[in-house]
Amino acid sequence: MQPTKTIKKESPAQGFRRFFRNVTAELKKVNWPNRKELTTYTIVVIATVFLVSFIIWVWDIGLTVVFKAMGFYR
């Protein structure tokens, strides 16, 4: 029979400190983009949002025309 291990419970304050210490350690491991990469990524995201918005807008207009022609939408 193995001896049972006692588990020491930490206080909430110790838990918060450990959590933020781990978060800080993980953020130090992140490979942050430089200014040029960040600008490029931002432009790509904005362009993608506009493109997808345009596609949805075109679909909306097209379906509205189709449903109006079928008499479902006035």
Q: CB-based contacts of 33: which residues, under 8 Å, 6+ apart? A: 41
- pTM exceeding the 0.85 threshold for the entire prediction: no
Domain boundaries, the chain: 33-74
Query: How many whole angstroms separate alpha carbon 14 and alpha carbon 10?
Result: 6
At 1 the pLDDT is 63
Q: Residue 51, Cα to own-chain centre: how many angstroms? A: 19
- The contacts of residue 73 (CB under 8 Å, 6+ apart) are 64, 67
Q: Give the up-direction half-sphere exposure of residue 49: CA atoms within 13 A in the CB hemisphere.
A: 6
pLDDT single digits (tens) 58-74: 999 999 999 999 998 76
